[in-house]
Amino acid sequence: MDDHAIPLDAETKAVEMPEDHREELRLWLRLLTCTTLIEGEVRRRLREKFDVTLPRFDLMAQLDKAPDGMTLSDLSKRMMVSNGNLTGLVERLVASGHIARMVSPTDRRAMVISLTKTGRDEFRSMAAEHEHWIADLFGDLSAKERSELMRLLAKTKLSARRAIAGDEQ
């Protein structure tokens, strides 16, 4: 197409050259790799040391922060998983005695889920060790680097939310 015949000054470049977003793509792949790497290791250790799955641990973590319990919808939003997913997960955690389920006193559609004593005790002891694992996994970053990463991820989160909200109109 005789590209070399077209003089590419800044102006024509902006119009003629499709933008290259390989850099953002690499950034996304690296973000995904970090998460997958850490998540996989946490999953492996949870299974190995406590014979618990990550979804079960995550669900208990949410409930531990809500002493009065939460509805399935709240859990679903917090955990960013589908409602149907939670139904099965909750089912198994009730069966194993870690959580209790009761009908909301104010809304007969809603189920309020909360940790049992056993569930809370087990979770707390797992969480203590889990915290050390995470600290170790991020251990090579300085305090300054961690806080800078925190800031950039906060901005990324807002950026993504903006892009997602803008899309759905």
Partner DNA sequence: ACAATTTATTTTAAGATTAAAACAATTGCC
Partner DNA sequence: GGCAATTGTTTTAATCTTAAAATAAATTGT
Q: Per CB under 7 A, which of residues 106..135 are in contact with DNA?
A: 107-112
**Pairwise CA distance, residues 90 & 46, whole Å:** 18
- Residue 111's SS3 state is strand
Is residue 43 involved in binding DNA (CB under 7 A)?
A: yes
Residues 70, 113: contact at Cβ < 8 Å?
A: yes
The per-residue DSSP string of 37-86 comes to HHHHHHHHHIIIII---HHHHHHHHHHHT-TT-EEHHHHHHHHT--HHHH
Q: Lay out the site mask for a copy of itself across 45-84 (x = CB under 8 A, - = otherwise).
A: x----------------------------------x----
Is residue 35 involved in binding DNA (CB under 7 A)?
A: no
Q: Shortest approach of DNA to residue 62 CB, angstroms? A: 12
Q: Which does 111 bind (CB under 5 to 8 A by kind): a copy of itself, DNA, none?
A: DNA
Instruction: Provide the residue count of the chain.
Output: 169
Instruction: List residues near a copy of itself by CB under 8 A.
Output: 19, 21-28, 30-41, 45, 80, 131-141, 145-146, 148-150, 152-164, 167
